[in-house]
Amino acid sequence: MSKLKIFAIVFTAVIGLTSAANAATIILASDDFVGISFWLISMGTLAATAFFFLERGSVATNWKPSVTVAGLITGIAFVHYMYMKNIWIETGDMPIVYRYIDWIITMPLIMLEFYLLPAAVRKVSFNIFWRILAGSLVMVVGGFLGEMNYINTFLGFVIAMGGWIYILYEIYSGEIGTIVAKSGNKALVNSYSAMRIIVTIGWAIYPLGYVFGYLTGDVESNSINIVYNLVDFINKIAFGLIIYACAVSNTGSRARY
C-alpha cells in the first residue's frame, strides 16, 4: 500500500474519532496552561501517530510490528487526550480515572515493545512478554484501586510500586536484558538502553504523582496535570521514535541470529 493511501486511512480514522469529541465549539483561555498542555500533547500524539504509520512501510518486515505498535500507543493516547482536553476546558477538572483508562491500554503495549524489538533479530520466548505484561497490569491496577478508594490508599501505592519494580528487574536483570546484551546488534542495544531509561525515569512521575497529588496533597492538581501531559512527549512519543530509529538502522542490513 502506498504512503498516500495509508495517510488517507489514518486521516479518515482521526477525523472520525475526533468528530464526536469536537461536536461543540470550545474556547481555550489564553491563561489556561493546563488546557494548553492538553492541546500540545494532543497534537504531538496525532503527529507521531501519522508519522509512525506512514513510515512503517520504509522499514524491513521484521521491524514493522514494533513501528506499528508505536503508532498504536500514540494513536490511543491521542484519542484519550482529545477527550480529556475537552473535559478539562468544559469543567476545569480532570478525574484521574481517565488517565488510568489510557494507562491500562498503553502501558501493556509499551511492554510489548520490549519483546518485539529483540524478537526482530532473534528468537525470543513469548513468556518474557507475559511476565512484563503482568508487572504493568499490577502497577496500573494497584494504583487505580488505591486512588479510587477501593482498597487502602497506601496499600494501592505499595502494589503499584511492586509492579513497577518487577518491570525494572525484568528489563535490567532479567532474561530479556541478557538477550539484548548478547545480540551483537549495536542499534538494538542502544535503543533498548534508552527505552529502559524512559521506563525508569519517565515512569517515575506516576508514583510521584500518586504520592504528592493524592496521598499527601502537597502538589495541586493543575501542576500534576501539566506534568502528566508533558511527560508523555517522552514516555510515548520519544519512546516510539527510539523504536523507529532502531528499525531504520537495521533495515537493509543483514539480520543477526
The tens digit of pLDDT for each residue in 128-168 reads 999 999 999 999 999 999 999 999 999 999 999 999 999 99
User: Does position 12 have pLDDT exceeding 60, yes or no?
Assistant: no
Q: What is the pLDDT of residue 20?
A: 46
Min mean pLDDT across 14-23, 94-103, 152-161 is at 14-23
Instruction: Classify 254 as helix, strand or coil.
Output: coil
Residue 7 pLDDT > 80: no
Q: Is 256 within a domain?
A: no
- Dihedral sign (CA 46, 136, 221, 200): negative
Of residues 29 and 250, the one with the higher pLDDT is 250
Instruction: Provide the pLDDT for residue 152.
Output: 93
Asked if pLDDT for residue 188 goes beyond 80, the answer is: yes
Q: Is residue 176 one of the residues assigned to a domain?
A: yes
What's the pLDDT score for residue 156? 94
| Overall average pLDDT of the 178-182 stretch | 90
Question: What span, in angstroms and rounded, lies between the C-alpha atoms of 207 and 84?
Answer: 21
The letter for the amino acid at 56 is R
DSSP 124: -
The CATH number of whichever domain residue 47 belongs to comes to: 1.20.1070.10
The reply to whether 257 falls in a domain is no
Round the average pLDDT of the chain to a whole number and report it. Answer: 87
For residues 215 and 111, which has the higher predicted lDDT (pLDDT)?
Answer: 111
Is residue 255 a part of any domain in this protein?
no
Over residues 43-64, mean pLDDT? 93
Handedness of CA 164, 169, 171, 175 (dihedral sign): negative
| Per-residue model confidence (pLDDT) at position 254 | 43
80, part of any domain: yes
pTM of the full structure: 0.88
Please tell me the predicted confidence (pLDDT) of residue 209: 86
Which pLDDT value is given to residue 255? 40
Res 8: pLDDT: 44
Nearest CA to 49 among 77, 16, 17, 8?
77
Q: Which three cell numbers stand for residue 183?
A: 545480540
- Does any domain span residue 16? yes
Domain that holds residue 35: 3-250
Range name among 25-29, 75-79, 83-87 with the lowest pLDDT average = 25-29
d(CA 52, CA 64): 10
For the cut 60, the answer to whether the pLDDT of residue 2 exceeds it is no
pLDDT at 215 > cutoff 90: no
DSSP string, 183-239: S--HHHHHHHHHHHHHHHHGGGHHHHHHIIIIIS--S-HHHHHHHHHHHHIIIIIIH
Q: What is the C-alpha to C-alpha distance for residues 135 and 58, in angstroms, rounded to an integer?
A: 33
Among 111, 167, 112, 115, smallest CA distance to 142 is for: 167
CA distance 195 to 202: 10
Q: Decide if 104 is inside a domain.
A: yes
How many structural domains is the chain composed of? Answer: 1
Let me know if residue 20 belongs to a domain: yes
Q: What integer is the mean pLDDT of 190-217?
A: 89
The answer to whether residues 171 and 196 touch, using CB atoms and an 8 Å cutoff, is yes
